[in-house]
């Protein structure tokens, strides 16, 4: 079998592994609030998230096309297959490290950083498409700020509307609503996160001379949707514990506000074909809701640790991507 074909097959396998890991790593965020408030039992929440992620992943491909050509031109990329393989290995390694320690880091930052670092080591800084790269970075860094603000405002409005209602009855009703908001947030997650692996595989197919456009083949879309759904079904309990309980004590009314915020910001980014970190968005939404509810009720120590991880993920994954490319280039 041709060596180029073997490498492309390896990339497809690694991309699906990345998507699988992304499923239990990031999807935990989408259901964390509903599990912590007991609106859904863990197993049901995971099955709901898996099915809604699958549907979301089959709905859109705009973000995938941004990943395919936004950072580097796949039609001109030197050592393209090695670059992509190095990026995937770097992203998978960082995701597993942060999952092990229960830290909600960003799979989006990891894969984008991995690609960037590998491209720079392979072909130099001039190979980066700075227009697309800057647009991606803007989406990654602005979306958590928007989520924090929307969460703060939305919960402030909810407080005014329900201030004279019986607290126990209100939380009971919101607990039922939270099933719908968790489903919506999981669907939104699928529309954005699964597309990153779709973009990577499409990029590899172009570099390998097996595809001639940035349009995502349906088999790629279906494979990535399935891998993410399977990963979601495994669950990510370490991260559910952090997002669902360590940031703040979440009640159903808080959970609904956070879920609505996260779903709207993620889905909005999908419509603009921008990859965002669902981890950043959902965690920032919880922080915004928590600050509106009671600033002292937010565990800012955990929030600080999460923010530090968010900041360092991009440079660390870029460094890993560059180092791994250098090693692979010697042997491949």
**Quick one: three-class SS letters along 8-37?**
HHHHHHHHHHHHHHHHHHHHHHHHHHHHHC
Average pLDDT over every residue of 115-130 = 95
Is 255 a domain residue? yes
**Residue 36 banded pLDDT, cuts 50, 70, 90:** confident
* Mean pLDDT, the chain, integer: 88
Q: Cα separation of 178 and 204, whole Å?
A: 39
Task: Answer whether residue 244 shows pLDDT above 50.
Answer: no
pLDDT at 125: 95
Distances (CA, A) of 203 to 66, 230, 232: 10, 23, 25
Range of the domain at 191: 3-327
* Range scoring the smallest mean pLDDT among 171-180, 234-243, 266-275, 289-298: 234-243
Is 332 a domain residue? no
pLDDT at 239: 53
Give the count of domains, the chain.
Answer: 1
Is 89 a domain residue? yes
The model's pTM is: 0.90
């Amino acid at each position: 079998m041709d060596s180029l074909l073997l490498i492309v097959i390896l990339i497809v396998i690694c991309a699906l592994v990345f998507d699988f890991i992304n499923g239990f790593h990031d999807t935990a965020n989408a259901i964390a609030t509903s599990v912590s408030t007991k609106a859904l039992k863990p197993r049901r929440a995971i099955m709901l998230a898996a099915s809604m992620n699958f549907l979301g992943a089959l709905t859109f491909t705009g973000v995938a096309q941004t990943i395919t050509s936004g950072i580097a031109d796949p039609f001109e990329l030197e050592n393209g297959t090695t670059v992509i393989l190095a990026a995937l290995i770097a992203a998978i390694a960082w995701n597993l490290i942060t999952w092990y320690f229960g830290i909600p880091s960003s799979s989006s930052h990891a894969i984008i950083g991995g690609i960037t670092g590998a491209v720079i080591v392979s072909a130099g800084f001039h190979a980066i498409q700075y227009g697309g790269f800057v647009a991606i970075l803007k989406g990654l860094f602005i979306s958590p700020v928007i989520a924090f603000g929307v969460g703060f405002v939305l919960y402030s409005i909810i407080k005014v509307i329900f201030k004279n209602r019986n607290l126990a009855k209100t939380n009971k009703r919101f607990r039922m609503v939270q099933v719908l908001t968790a489903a919506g947030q999981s669907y939104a997650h699928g529309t954005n996160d699964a597309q990153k692996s779709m973009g990577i595989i499409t990029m590899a197919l172009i570099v390998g001379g097996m595809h001639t456009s940035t349009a995502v083949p349906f088999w790629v879309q279906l494979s990535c949707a399935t891998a993410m759904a399977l990963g979601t079904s495994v669950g990510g309990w370490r991260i559910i514990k952090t997002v669902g309980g360590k940031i703040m004590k979440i009640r159903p009314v808080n959970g609904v506000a956070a879920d609505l915020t996260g779903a709207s910001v993620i889905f909005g980014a999908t419509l603009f074909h921008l990859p965002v970190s669902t981890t950043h968005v959902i965690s920032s939404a919880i922080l915004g809701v928590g600050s509106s509810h009671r600033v002292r009720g937010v565990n800012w120590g955990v929030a600080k640790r999460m923010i530090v991880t968010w900041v360092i993920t991009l440079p660390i994954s870029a460094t890993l991507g560059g180092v791994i490319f250098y090693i692979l280039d010697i042997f491949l």
